[in-house]
Amino acid sequence: MTVNLNAHLTAHTPNPSLLDSAEVAAPSRPKRGVATTSALWPQQSVIKISLLGMTPEQEEFTKTNINKWAPHVNLTFEFTDDSDGDIRIAADNDLSGGHSYLGIRSLNVPAYKPTTVIGFQGGLNAYNAGTIQHEFGHVLGLQHEHQHEHNNLDINWSVVNKAYIGKGGAKEVKHNFKPLVSNVVSSEYDRKSIMHYGFASSWLNDGKAIKDNNELSEGDINFVRSLYPPVVKKKTATSSWWDYRHLHRGA
């Protein structure tokens, strides 16, 4: 099943209609990255995830890549065999790249529609693994890193605009490339972020291509930990007592 939320040229592209936001950034101090604060999940949420139209191998691959985020957030990812998860991820075997709603905005999507689409063209390769991690970054509320206000990209707009003719045009370019200057929480620009697009050499005026990032960067991990900080469990009186007793029982 394919529900094309939007046609996209470039991989890892979210639904552009979701990138307009009008919220005030929270006083958070993330390490790196860009996120829309109002799209973030409540702390310690349990997110139910349905995988739609996938082979068992695609399901396993998708779970593995989503779970790369899991150790770094206080959220719980609960995969369900039912099709009514909070997040409904559909496979598209003819697509390279993907798209997704942003964070909790997925909760407003009618239940019969997917909230995220993953392209599996080319099979279970490193690029598609990167797509899953990238799209799930959008699910967590993250925006495109190359749209960081302080990115140091010198984009050749005429080439990029030309590439999008017939594929969403200027509107699509704006949504996927123009810096996000308000309504977001962000910090230091991170070119290695999973949320950063790869750029062909012709798309940048310095002619130096940026390759696709297919794994979470250290910046991604630090940023998402700042958004969903780990819960510190206090040592309970019971465990102290147990430790004490254990100590004195000897061998």
From the list 5-13, 54-62, 115-123, 199-207, the region that binds Zn ion by CB under 5 A is: 5-13
Range list of H helices, the chain: 56-66, 126-139, 157-163, 169-177, 218-227, 237-249
Stretch of residues binding Zn ion (CB under 5 A), selected from 9-17, 65-73, 186-194, 238-246:
9-17
Pick between residue 14 and residue 130 the one whose CB is nearest to Zn ion.
14
Rounded distance between C-alpha atoms, residue 44 and residue 9, angstroms: 35
* Closest CB 14 distance from Zn ion, rounded Å: 4
Closer CB to Zn ion, 14 or 219, in the complex: 14
Number of residues located near Zn ion, criterion CB under 5 A: 2
Minimum Å distance from CB 46 to Zn ion? 24
Helix, coil or strand: residue 250: coil
Q: How far is the CB of 191 from Zn ion (least distance, A)?
A: 15
Look up residue 201 and give its amino acid. S
**15 and 105 Cβ atoms separated by less than 8 Å:** no
Single out the residue of 175, 219, 222 nearest to residue 193, CA to CA.
219
* Nearer Cβ to Zn ion (37/249): 37
Which are the contacts of 89, defined by CB distance < 8 A and separation ≥ 6?
49, 50, 51, 52, 62, 114, 115, 116, 117, 118, 135
- Subset of residues 11 to 30 that bind Zn ion, contact rule: CB under 5 A: 12, 14
Q: How far is the CB of 34 from Zn ion (least distance, A)?
A: 11
Interface contacts to Zn ion, rule CB under 5 A: 12, 14
